[in-house]
Amino acid sequence: MKVVAIIQARMGSSRLPGKVLRTILGKPMLWHLVSRVQRAKCIHDVVIATTTNKEDDQMEEFAADKGLRVYRGSENDIVDRFLNAARENDADIIVRVWGDCPLIDPELIDEIMPEFISGGYDYANNFNPPTYPVGMNFEVYSLQALERIWNETNEIFYRQYPFEYVCANIASFRTMFKRNAKDLSEINLTVDYAQDLDLVTEIYKHLFSEDETFHLEDILKLIERRPSLKDMNKGLPRNTEYDRDRKLRGG
């Protein structure tokens, strides 16, 4: 079965415009993210899924420079964008990764995939309930699950947040939710603000190597040695468009 990692990335961001191409140690943040995802042994291909907005021409240029495929689709209809990207690249299984998670651990993806395939699951994630640091999150869909969501709903909320459709119909999806042994969800390793980027840059300064992959365990050990790192992005508001839409729906 062909496993394709599809990275959701765009230049638009109200908090930190153009964040996916901001640099860490002289390389775009997205370059680091792609490089880490490519080191997952189960991943056969990596695709950048961006929008048709003019500002996201830079995503296409980045993909060409990196030798990656790119799919450009609807900004708001994530299901349609991902399904078309998956079909264009003959994917049987899709790993959805967000472009603002440059510390994602490829080992976590490799850990979940054998059970996902052997168990015939439709959907999996590692953030429900949240036990991993924010920024280590990813989802896994079978192609059939994405096709089903696309066929069964035109509601924009579900088209933007397909996980919510799975949850609303969970009895008819075969799902798997991976939990960490210890709840580390208070640690934020995603990039929403300049302070987040400063923290991630500090982690890269201490751990990055062209030849070896550092993992979540290495990050946690670094934070244990240097607890002041956690203060670099502490207390920042984390309400997202997703949170707002859930409140509007009474969720």
Count the domains in the chain. Answer: 1
| Domain, as residue range, for 70 | 3-248
Query: What is the H or E stretch that residue 31 is in?
Result: helix 29-38
| Digitized pLDDT (tens) for each residue of the chain, 251 residues in all | 999 999 999 998 778 889 999 999 999 999 999 999 999 999 999 999 999 999 999 999 999 988 999 999 999 999 999 999 999 999 999 999 999 999 999 999 999 999 999 999 999 999 999 999 999 999 999 999 999 999 999 999 999 999 999 999 999 999 999 999 999 999 999 999 999 999 999 999 999 998 899 999 999 999 999 999 999 998 888 765 545 455 545 54
- Which amino acid type is present at position 182? K
Residue in 101, 79, 104 with CA at minimum distance from that of residue 29: 101
Query: What is the H or E stretch that residue 34 is in?
Result: helix 29-38
- Give the integer Cα–Cα distance in Å for 81 and 53: 13
- Give the integer Cα–Cα distance in Å for 145 and 124: 11
The CATH number linked to 117 is: 3.90.550.10
Model pTM score: 0.94
Residue in 84, 93, 185, 82 with CA at minimum distance from that of residue 133: 185
pLDDT digits (tens, 9 = 90+) for 111-147: 999 999 999 999 999 999 999 999 999 999 999 999 9
